[in-house]
């Protein structure tokens, strides 16, 4: 089996792949509250779930 045809088993990669092929966000196969579901959404959104909002830059320097 080639690497290209290998099954994706990492939830982050699965989420990223789902978005790339146009699947909806509610297509996540993992149960609510699971670490795998959180990781899948991180992959789908392209950002860690615990990554807070960016703070404004201080113009005063």
Tens of pLDDT along the chain (61 residues) come to: 444 545 668 999 999 999 999 999 999 999 999 999 999 999 999 988 765 666 677 765 5
Helices (H), the chain: 11-20, 35-45
Residue 53 class from Cβ within 10 Å (0-12 exposed, 13-18 middle, 19+ buried)?
Answer: exposed
* Amino acid 2: pLDDT: 45
Please check whether residue 54 lies inside any domain of the structure.
Answer: no
61 belongs to a structural domain: no
The DSSP 8-state label assigned to residue 8 in this structure reads P
Distance between CA atoms of residues 5 and 53, nearest Å? 37
Q: How many domains does the chain have?
A: 1
The reply to whether 58 falls in a domain is no
The domain of 27 spans: 3-45
Quote the pTM value. Answer: 0.68
Tell me whether residue 25 is in a domain. Answer: yes
- Structure-token pair, residue 1: 């089996």
Asked whether residue 53 is domain-assigned, the answer is no
- Residue 16 is predicted with a pLDDT of 95
User: What whole-number distance in Å separates Cα of residue 38 and Cα of residue 56?
Assistant: 27
């Amino acid at each position: 089996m080639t690497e290209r045809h290998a099954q994706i088993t990492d939830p982050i990669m699965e989420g990223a792949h789902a978005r790339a092929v146009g699947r909806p966000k509610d297509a996540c196969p993992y149960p609510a509250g699971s670490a795998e579901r959180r990781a899948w959404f991180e992959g789908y959104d392209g950002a860690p779930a615990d990554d807070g909002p960016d703070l404004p830059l201080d113009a005063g320097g």
